[in-house]
Structure 1
Amino acid sequence: MVKQVRAARTRQSLVRAAAEVFAADGYALASLPVISRRAGVSAGALHFHFASKDALAAEVESAAADWVRELAERCREENGARLQLLMRTMSGLLLAVAGDPVVRAGFRLGADPSRKSGAAMLGLWHRCVRELVLQAQSAGELAEGVCPDGVTATVVAATVGLEMAAAMAAAADGAVDGVTAGAIGGAMGAAQDGVRDGAEGGAADGVRAGAAGGAVDGVRAGAGGGAVDGGWLPAGLVEQFWSLVLPGLAASPERALEWMPPRT
């Protein structure tokens, strides 16, 4: 029994250490010796639990995917406006990406071109978003003419862009530089294209302005109230994204904007 507990702890340490390395360096540059040292275990112990780097990456992705599935399940159980829930869910996912290296690594591995067999983290998030958007359409929350697929693509693209911004900010010890601002602009630009396609251009001008202006000093994760591993979450940018996009997709923009959390 003691050996089983010890083995489980070693496995958990390896998964977390691997997630930290994959999130920081990507799959191709990550090495098993670095992972074993970070976990504080021998190379032999690592190979006892995982036969290869691919097997270790698959375990990290599986753990991250389980978290997204749990998030989607919680979404299904909640009541209230679907667009409001979508806003909260996106913020929760980005908070997890900033604070949990396993979730962060799951996204990085799923989008890493050097890992062609990656798990479908983005696919899971896409399905979660699309389900909420279709529910919003059925509830009459979407403006006439708004395409659910366009809204889904917009939210997923913005999530990926903001996740990249959070990762780069964390890597730079919270210094939001021009590269990070560029990623933010890309997310906002994706929102511009998606909303234009889905709602015949509504809010395109506002999104364009957001891509050009980007309120970078609102990135601090303090809105979440606690220390975040990596120290930063683009909370202010999430708010900006929704404040720009909601008027073009919500049937009642004034009511939708009331769902925005108060600025702190």
Structure 2
Amino acid sequence: MVKQERAARTRESLVHAAAEVFAEEGFAAASIAQISRRAGVTSGALHFHFDGKTSLALAVEERAARAMREAAAVLEERDRAGGPLRVLVGSTYTMLSLLTEDVAVRAAFALCADTAHSGRVDLRRQWRSWVEGVLADAERARLLAEGVALQDAVDLVVALTVGLDGLGGFEPDRGARQLLNRIWTVVLPGIAGGEVAAAVLVEALAEDETD
């Protein structure tokens, strides 16, 4: 049991160290030596747990995907009563928190766009699918503004929020969240319009102030 716990801790350290190095250096520039040194283990110990950089990158992506699924489940439960647009807006604040606080998520988003790595988990595509599903719920509930096509709304939200991995580089004051507040203040009335957008914004901004 002690050996198993030690092995689990070593593996955890290696995945965390790999995420940090991938986020900072990219997949091609990252080295096994860097990752093992960051984790405080030998290269031999690293190879005992992982075949190499690719298997480490896959482990980072799987951890990030799990973190996003767990966050989405909490979000849906918390914001369901506020309707799909409330869920949509809330999800972007959750995403920003993940990118700021969870290095695996930050690294996995970087790996998605890294041509040197071919992963199994595309978080950017998963994010698009999530946005499309929530906005489809909003369309069925007749919450989208007149003349707004579903795919146009999806494209707009994804284009704006895919840059959240850049916002994640802000210092952990409230600069990034305040910028996200301003983005939604401009964008949401174009998607939903009228009283619906106003109500969602009031709830979202008020909740952000209390976080």
Same fold by TM (over 0.5)? yes
The residue number in structure 2 matching 1:6 is: 6
Distance (Å, rounded) in 1 between the aligned partners of 2:198 and 2:162: 27
TM-score with structure 1 setting the length: 0.72
Residue 117 of structure 1, CA deviation: 3.3
The residue number in structure 2 matching 1:207 is: none
Q: What secondary structure is seen at the aligned counterpart in 2 of 1:102?
A: helix
Q: Cα deviations across residues 126-167 of structure 1 (Å, max 9, x unaligned)?
A: 111111111111122111121222222222222221322333
1:261 correspondence with 2:202: no
The residue number in structure 1 matching 2:15 is: 15
Distance (Å, rounded) in 2 between the aligned partners of 1:234 and 1:136: 26
The residue number in structure 2 matching 1:123 is: 125
Distance (Å, rounded) in 2 between the aligned partners of 1:259 and 1:73: 20
1:240 correspondence with 2:182: yes
Q: What secondary structure is seen at the aligned counterpart in 2 of 1:29?
A: coil
1:68 correspondence with 2:77: no
Residue 256 of structure 1, CA deviation: 3.4
The residue number in structure 2 matching 1:152 is: 154
Q: Which has the higher contact order (CA 8 A, sep 6+)?
A: 2
TM-score with structure 2 setting the length: 0.89
From 120, 134, 137, give the equivalent of 1:135.
Answer: 137
Q: What secondary structure is seen at the aligned counterpart in 1 of 2:145?
A: coil
Distance change >3 Å, CA 35–CA 41, structure 1 → 2? same
Distance (Å, rounded) in 1 between the aligned partners of 2:76 and 2:86: 13
Residue 76 of structure 1, CA deviation: 4.0
Residue 10 of structure 1, CA deviation: 0.2
Q: Cα deviations across residues 164-203 of structure 1 (Å, max 9, x unaligned)?
A: 2333x4xxxx4xxxxxxxxxxxxxxxxxxxxxxxxxxxxx
List aligned pairs for 1:1-264, cutoff 5 A: 1-77=1-77, 78-167=80-169, 169=170, 174=171, 221-223=172-174, 234-252=176-194, 253-262=197-206
Corresponding residue pairs, total: 204
Segments of 5+ residues of structure 2 without an aligned counterpart are: none
Which amino acid letter does the alignment assign opposite residue 148 of structure 1?
Answer: L
CA RMSD of aligned residues (A): 1.8
Which amino acid letter does the alignment assign opposite residue 102 of structure 2?
Answer: D
Identity of aligned residues (%): 42
Distance (Å, rounded) in 2 between the aligned partners of 1:117 and 1:254: 40
